[in-house]
Amino acid sequence: MKPYLVAIAAMLPLLTYAKDNSLSYPRRAEALRIDGHVKVIYDVNNKGVVENIRFIEASPKHSFEKSIREQMRHWHFKANDAKRDVPLDVTFKAN
């Protein structure tokens, strides 16, 4: 299985609300073949924009957080469907 497919599989329940929201394996972590797992909680405002991204767990620390935060800032959901404390678990496997 490709590394990015693991991340997308973790997000499948959320994709029904989303337009083209995905996460790719952070380049540096993939180049170094680093496996990892992160647990994120985030909010979606009334405009459908992701905000208040909080990392609950990250292993290894500082390997995935910056890239995931930057990618999630580009996500968009349906307007007028605000959500709070949406959980997201992502596992990266370098194969």
pLDDT at residue 14, as a whole number = 47
In three-state form (DSSP H/G/I as H, E/B as E, the rest C), the secondary structure along the chain is: CCHHHHHHHHHHHHHCCECCCCCCCCHHHHHCCCCEEEEEEEEECCCCEEEEEEEEEEECCCCCHHHHHHHHCCCEECCCCCEEEEEEEEEECCC
43 beta partners: 51
Tens digit of pLDDT at every position of the chain (95 positions): 555 545 544 554 444 444 578 899 988 888 999 999 999 999 999 999 999 999 999 999 999 999 999 999 999 999 999 999 999 999 999 87
The CATH number covering residue 10 comes to 3.30.2420.10
Place of tokens 């709070």: 84
pLDDT at residue 13, as a whole number = 44
pLDDT at residue 27, as a whole number = 87
In terms of residue numbers, what domain contains 8? 3-92
Work out how many domains the chain is built from and give that number.
1
